Amino acid sequence: MSNPLLEKENKHRLQAIPFHLIKTEHFMPAIKETLQKAKEKFELIRNNPEVPTFENTILEMDFAEEKLEYVAGIYFNLHAAESDAEFKALAQQISPMLSEFSSSIMTDEVIFNRVKAVYEQECVNKEEPKPDFQNKAQMQICERYRYTERIYKSFKRNGAMLSSEDKKKLTEIDKEMSILSPKYSDNVLDATNAYEMHLTDPKEVEGIPESALQAAAFRAKQKGKDGGWLFNLQMPNLVPVLTYCKNRKIRETIQKAYASRAFNDKFDNQENIKRILELRFERAKLLGYRTHAHYVLEERMALNPDAAIAFLEKIYDIAYPAAQKELDEIKAFAKETDGITDFMSWDFNYYSTKLKEKKFQFDPEQLRPWFKLENVFEGLFLLANKIYGITLKQVTDVPVYHKDVTTWEVHDEKGGFLGLLYLDMFPRETKRGGAWMNAFRGQGLYKDGMKRPHVVNVASLTPSTDEQPSLLRLDEVRTIFHEFGHGIHALLSDCNYKALAGPNVLWDFVELPSQLMENWLLEKEALNLFAKQYKTGELLPDELLDKVLAARNFNAGNANLNQLRYALLDFAWHMTDPKEMGSINDFENKTIQRLTLLPLIPESNISCSFSHIFAGGYSAGYYSYKWAEALEADAWSLIKEKGIFNHEVTFDFKNKILSKGNAVHPMDLFVAFRGRKPDPDALLKRDGLI
């Protein structure tokens, strides 16, 4: 059987992945063959009689895994974005195979000794080279030094210096962990997909915007229901109900369903969480660290958990009283409006929106007609050109993995090819919730030369119906901008080595480009490029924009407190000995008590669907959102001061941060752009909290 994943030469345009030819049954043979080839190549490296050099060791290791990374990358991207039960089940075989292989390399004494020899040649007793952003040769020297250093550290941090017995333990831990994360993720998706709320009484949906009702009616029709409205737990369905539904019981029902996903049901994740935490703790101890958080933070800008937690606590001290004051005002409004005396979490969005509307004469739903999805992307691409000089052109001759996916060629200001962008924007049952950016191919040096990236942006936005196009909420447009910010970090990368190419930066720096991109969304000059009434073409009225801007810091205290709840819960899980935790729910409730202003719901649990930390890359790293937000607020203040389309400052950000990936330490990149270290109060100032 021919296998498109194993073709010797990719002759498809732009070397695009031949999704139209790939079937589920192609993956296991492709993984097995490319894994075997990778093992053979590493065997050649370890048996090389020549003196170890950067070229014959570090680079050859990189080249050895190319084909395996290609196949595995396609599999895991599709596992998240387009997979049925049969496809997902393969992860239970593929993940441990890849984990065992990775561990075998990282714990191979001969290979480590070669890496160590190169590290001693390139880095030991040598000053770290200083970046010179105008000198390409000097930047290559910096990158080579950093890559060598990070490869060496990676081996040390993954067991290269352990005893033989401990190496075996580590391999078994990694192997088991590789099975648990996909299993956890699948449970969250299955629990999300399992829930449906079919309503037929108009009184039950009173207050829900017409656009959301049309979508729910369309969904009911698709699912073969006899009329009515069908709601599920995908964000485009959930948010309108919690925000606008007048029927309090309906809000309560769907809030509890969402908050209890994969908790005490047939998709329960509690045992998975316990085992993941046990393994992470055991792994950290084995490697000589106090906790998993100490292990993770060693390779972050924050350097250690104490510094990250101190940063969060400073925000807490200011955000908590602000959030309490905001909540008191909302509760008083709910009591005055509807006599609510037992205010609960399912009341917060509803009454806070009503209060916002009263105070600012503004309802976010008013914006939908100005945010037609196609117009948003057209404007976003115009913005990208005005900010960074790049252009995007849709192409239709590149295979895609689902009919909803579109593809775009990206070029720089001189017409040079930067990469291929896939856009996958709508929810479906074969795709996990949320939004993310990933790459099918990273930028950098391959065995056959330098290659540009193939990037994918994924989201779950309000889809079109048979009666109206996709009209987005403001927060959905913000999601598009955010993920596109990650995308251009990859597309503008100009590094030599894939492992250092954007966005493969330190984790608490990775959100800077994405969060910075969000700022253009509420600038009038930017909005005029795309915020056009979808029927009349009328630009967003100034008075409506003024209301948006006036309300932008409404509930800023609660917004900060919400993020702190996730970040500090993450640290609590990863800084505590699992033997001391007790039940998952009790530990969580105890941890978040001081971070929660409303009564905790017994039926709910955050951790059982907290995919960022249990199935994503954010374990002991969720604080990164706030950390990077502080960097972004400071960076934006300079761009705002110089002019949001001033190429002197935007191209400086492109050339000193976006294009450099991880070739230089992120603090050095930030200082090169900003002219100083970050202002620690920039975020609190921007949110109006100080």
Q: Which secondary-structure segment (H or E) carries 313? A: helix 305-338
**Same structural domain for residues 93 and 212?**
no
**Same structural domain for residues 469 and 617?**
no
Tokens of 23: 């079937």
Report helix angle 248-259 to 345-360, nearest 10: 120
Sorted by sequence, the CB contacts under 8 Å of residue 69 that are 6+ apart come out as none
Cα–Cα distance, 101 to 117 (Å, whole number): 23
Using alpha carbons, select from 85, 188, 28, 24 the residue that is nearest to residue 616: 188
pTM: 0.95
Cα–Cα distance, 194 to 258 (Å, whole number): 11
Domain end position, chosen among 577, 607, 622:
622
Using alpha carbons, select from 511, 513, 489 the residue that is nearest to residue 502: 489
Query: So what's the pLDDT on residue 10?
Result: 85
Of 65, 365, 483, 629, which is the active-site residue?
483
Query: So what's the pLDDT on residue 11?
Result: 84
Sign of CA dihedral 588, 591, 593, 597: negative
Cα–Cα distance, 143 to 690 (Å, whole number): 39
Whether the bond into 503 is cis, omega within 30 of 0: yes
Q: What are phi and psi of 44, to 5 degrees?
A: -65, -40
Residue 217, in any domain of the structure: yes
**Same structural domain for residues 380 and 324?**
no
Tokens of 585: 């729910």
Using alpha carbons, select from 258, 282, 262 the residue that is nearest to residue 271: 262
**Same structural domain for residues 284 and 388?**
no
C-beta separation of 233 from 216 below 8 A = no
**Same structural domain for residues 439 and 569?**
no
**Same structural domain for residues 67 and 126?**
yes
CATH number at residue 632: 1.10.1370.40
Q: What are phi and psi of 262, to 5 degrees?
A: 60, 30
Residue 164, in any domain of the structure: no
**Same structural domain for residues 488 and 615?**
no
Cα–Cα distance, 114 to 58 (Å, whole number): 9
Query: So what's the pLDDT on residue 602?
Result: 86
Confidence band of 285 (pLDDT split at 50, 70, 90):
very high
Confidence band of 583 (pLDDT split at 50, 70, 90):
very high
Domain end position, chosen among 598, 622, 646:
622
pLDDT digits (tens, 9 = 90+) for 210-255: 999 999 999 999 999 999 999 999 999 999 999 999 999 999 999 9
DSSP-derived pairing of the beta strands 391-395 and 406-411: antiparallel
681 pLDDT above the threshold of 80: yes
Hey, is 221 helix, strand or coil? helix
Residue 36, in any domain of the structure: yes
CATH number at residue 600: 1.10.1370.10
Query: So what's the pLDDT on residue 30?
Result: 98
Cα radius of gyration rounded to whole Å, the chain: 25
Residue 293, in any domain of the structure: yes
pLDDT digits (tens, 9 = 90+) for 71-124: 999 999 999 999 999 999 999 999 999 999 999 999 999 999 999 999 999 999
The beta strand positions in 126-242, using DSSP E, are: 197-199, 229-231
**Same structural domain for residues 656 and 527?**
yes
Q: What is the number of domains present in the chain?
A: 4
419 phi-psi bin (left φ>0, alpha ψ -120 to 50, beta other): left
Residue 265, in any domain of the structure: no
Domain end position, chosen among 232, 256, 280:
256
Cα–Cα distance, 338 to 349 (Å, whole number): 15
pLDDT digits (tens, 9 = 90+) for 500-526: 999 999 999 999 999 999 999 999 999
Mean pLDDT over each residue of the chain, to the nearest integer:
96
**Same structural domain for residues 346 and 494?**
no
**Same structural domain for residues 11 and 94?**
yes
Sorted by sequence, the CB contacts under 8 Å of residue 97 that are 6+ apart come out as 31, 32, 35
Domain boundaries, position 289: 270-362+556-622
**Is 33 a known active-site residue?**
no
pLDDT digits (tens, 9 = 90+) for 53-85: 999 999 999 999 999 999 999 999 999 999 999
Confidence band of 8 (pLDDT split at 50, 70, 90):
confident
Hey, is 470 helix, strand or coil? coil
C-beta separation of 46 from 61 below 8 A = no
Give the distance, in angstroms, between the CA of residue 473 and the centroid of all CA atoms in the same chain. Answer: 20
DSSP-derived pairing of the beta strands 417-424 and 454-458: parallel
Other Cβ atoms within 10 Å of 73 Cβ, number: 17
Q: Percentage of residues in the chain with pLDDT exceeding 90?
A: 97
Residue 174, in any domain of the structure: no
Residue 184, in any domain of the structure: no
Residue 165, in any domain of the structure: no
**Same structural domain for residues 48 and 143?**
yes
DSSP-derived pairing of the beta strands 391-395 and 449-451: unpaired
Tokens of 26: 């192609």
Cα–Cα distance, 418 to 410 (Å, whole number): 5
**Same structural domain for residues 354 and 208?**
no
